[in-house]
């Protein structure tokens, strides 16, 4: 069975200020008589890391245990299919968590927690060793796959739940802000406009008989307003009109106040409406304003708290899912190598990272010369370059998987 190459990828932006490098290649080749892991590794490094014209930025051994338990041949076939499927599923969850973390912080730096060390994703791949405590080698590969799937699904559900809670709080804050920014003075909550910093002590008169009306007056109609408001109703207090010191709204409407007798308020509203002046129902109360600002402050604080918590959840989930994903890749390398090269398992696995997409063909040529078995096998299975299209797979005389730590 020929292993499928999973393509390359040049540098791509990933979030503000981040550039994604080409993916890691995970390679496995059979060990023939007289060959050792060290000789293959040394030969590949020497060929791909030439001082003057290197093809890769790094080449290193990839720790795939030779003692993983796969069961029967049929079990192995099923494991290969399951691993290929779950590889894509787990990566999709990882990318979703990554995008969510970057939405919260475009400059987020992802770390992998490994043996009490904090590593970058690239460092973890380069230093990868099998985690026996999480994925015992004595346990069947099928069971380790199930453990990974269950763990990743649980983390995915947890992140989704935290995202939903954060979005609810954010929606409350956004709705409040949107209303303040979009609605006209005829529609907005006047508590947003007539604040203690705007309202003076004598602006609102409230007695047993007197009240204060707030009126929306277009800028172009202010002259008409000033010459007519006292005539709108006989209960208006003369020369009581005053313009509030706030900018006009998006429609060019300003807010004024008028003092009048309470019994004439309804007639005043009708007469004002006939002249296109809108009287708002509003009772100024500094205590109510204080309650509103405190409530909004609570919403903002709640949003900040949810964002901080969600960010921590995303970073922790990214680390755990990435670790699980790399172990899944290692199991794929093992199963496809056993299926390709036979039993008992006897192969060398290593990682490399091309400097750019343009190096892919040269790298395959070097690998073909270094690790292809004698005869026509290598030439027969050397497939088209991945840049030619995505309709088919690339087949090589060695197992080849790719691992891209970050999405585009």
> Which comes out higher in pLDDT, residue 7 or 155?
155
Same domain, 253 and 366: no
The pLDDT of residue 150 is 97
Neighbours of 225 (CB within 10 A): 21
pLDDT-based confidence at residue 116 (cuts at 50, 70, 90): confident
**Weakest-pLDDT range from 17-31, 57-71, 100-114, 349-363:** 17-31
Whole-number CA gyration radius for the chain: 35
Given 255, 283, 311, which residue is the final one in a domain? 283
Same domain, 260 and 340: no
Q: Kindly state whether residue 172 falls inside one of the protein's structural domains.
A: no
Domain span including residue 225? 200-283
CATH code assigned at 221:
3.30.70.100
Same domain, 77 and 140: yes
Region 358-383: mean pLDDT is 69
Same domain, 58 and 113: yes
Given 259, 283, 307, which residue is the final one in a domain? 283
**Weakest-pLDDT range from 139-148, 178-187, 353-362:** 178-187
3-state secondary structure at position 151: helix
Q: What letter would DSSP give residue 229? A: G
The pLDDT of residue 383 is 37
- Does the predicted model carry a pTM greater than 0.85? no
Same domain, 7 and 140: yes
pLDDT-based confidence at residue 34 (cuts at 50, 70, 90): confident
Given 283, 301, 328, which residue is the final one in a domain? 283
Q: How far is CA 17 from CA 13, 24, 108, 254, 291, in A?
A: 8, 21, 10, 44, 41
pLDDT exceeds 50 at position 379:
no
Nearest to 90 by CA among 288, 303, 293, 331: 331
Alpha-carbon distance of 68 to 149, in angstroms, equals 18
Contacting residues for 270 by C-beta, under 8 A, at least 6 apart: none
- Specify whether the backbone of 116 is left (phi greater than 0), alpha (psi in -120 to 50) or beta: left
Same domain, 68 and 132: yes
Residue the block writes with tokens 């779950």? 86
Q: Kindly state whether residue 179 falls inside one of the protein's structural domains.
A: no
Q: Kindly state whether residue 182 falls inside one of the protein's structural domains.
A: no
pLDDT in tens, 123-164: 999 999 999 999 999 999 999 999 999 999 999 999 999 999
The pLDDT of residue 373 is 64
Q: Kindly state whether residue 407 falls inside one of the protein's structural domains.
A: no
Q: Kindly state whether residue 275 falls inside one of the protein's structural domains.
A: yes
Same domain, 279 and 323: no
Q: How far is CA 127 from CA 123, 140, 349, 350, in A?
A: 6, 24, 13, 11
Same domain, 390 and 326: yes
Same domain, 269 and 325: no
Same domain, 92 and 206: no
pLDDT-based confidence at residue 180 (cuts at 50, 70, 90): low
Contacting residues for 25 by C-beta, under 8 A, at least 6 apart: 351, 352, 353, 354, 363, 400, 401, 402
349 and 398 Cβ atoms separated by less than 8 Å: no
Alpha-carbon distance of 403 to 353, in angstroms, equals 10
Could you give the angle at the alpha carbon of 91 between the alpha carbons of 90 and 95, nearest 5°?
120
CATH code assigned at 98:
1.20.1460
Same domain, 132 and 232: no
Alpha-carbon distance of 341 to 2, in angstroms, equals 10
Strands 112-114 and 399-403: unpaired
Q: How buried is 362 (Cβ within 10 angstroms: 0-12 exposed, 13-18 middle, 19+ buried)?
A: middle
The pLDDT of residue 128 is 96
pLDDT in tens, 290-299: 988 888 888 8
Same domain, 26 and 137: yes
Number of domains comprising the chain: 2
Q: Kindly state whether residue 366 falls inside one of the protein's structural domains.
A: yes
The pLDDT of residue 394 is 64
Q: Kindly state whether residue 299 falls inside one of the protein's structural domains.
A: no
Q: Kindly state whether residue 74 falls inside one of the protein's structural domains.
A: yes
Neighbours of 75 (CB within 10 A): 15
């Amino acid at each position: 069975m020929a292993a499928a190459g999973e393509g390359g990828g040049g540098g791509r932006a990933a979030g503000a200020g981040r550039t994604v490098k080409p993916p890691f290649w995970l390679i496995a080749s059979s060990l023939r008589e007289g060959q050792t892991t060290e000789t293959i590794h040394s030969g590949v490094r020497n060929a791909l890391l030439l001082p003057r014209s290197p093809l890769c930025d790094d080449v290193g051994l990839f720790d795939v245990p030779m003692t993983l338990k796969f069961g029967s041949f049929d079990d192995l076939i099923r494991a290969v299919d399951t691993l290929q499927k779950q590889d894509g599923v787990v990566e999709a969850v990882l990318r979703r968590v990554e995008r969510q973390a970057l939405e919260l912080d475009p400059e987020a730096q992802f770390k992998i927690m490994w043996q009490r060390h904090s590593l970058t994703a690239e460092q973890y791949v380069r230093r990868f060793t099998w985690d026996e405590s999480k994925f015992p080698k004595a346990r069947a590969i099928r069971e380790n796959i199930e453990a990974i799937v269950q763990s990743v699904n649980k983390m995915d559900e947890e992140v989704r739940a935290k995202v939903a809670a954060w979005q609810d709080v954010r929606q409350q804050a956004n709705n409040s802000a949107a209303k303040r920014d979009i609605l006209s003075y005829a529609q907005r909550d006047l508590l947003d406009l007539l604040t203690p910093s705007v309202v003076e002590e004598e602006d609102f008169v409230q007695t047993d008989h007197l009240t204060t009306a707030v009126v929306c007056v277009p800028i172009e109609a202010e002259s008409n307003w000033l010459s007519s408001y006292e005539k709108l109703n006989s209960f208006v207090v003369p020369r009581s009109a005053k313009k509030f010191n706030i900018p006009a709204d998006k429609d060019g409407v300003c807010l004024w106040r008028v003092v009048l007798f309470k019994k004439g308020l309804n007639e005043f509203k009708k007469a004002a409406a006939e002249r296109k002046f809108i009287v708002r129902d509003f009772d100024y109360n500094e205590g109510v304003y204080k309650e509103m600002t405190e409530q909004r402050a609570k919403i903002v604080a709640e949003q900040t708290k949810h964002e901080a918590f969600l960010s921590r959840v995303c970073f922790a989930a990214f680390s755990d899912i990435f670790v699980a994903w790399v172990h899944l890749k290692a199991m794929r390398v093992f199963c496809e190598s056993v299926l390709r090269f036979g039993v008992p398992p006897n192969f060398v696995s290593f990682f490399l990272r091309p400097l750019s997409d343009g190096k892919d063909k040269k790298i395959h040529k070097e690998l073909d010369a270094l690790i292809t078995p004698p005869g026509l096998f290598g030439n027969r299975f050397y497939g088209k370059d991945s840049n030619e299209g995505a309709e088919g797979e690339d087949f090589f005389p060695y197992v080849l998987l790719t691992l891209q730590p970050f999405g585009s």
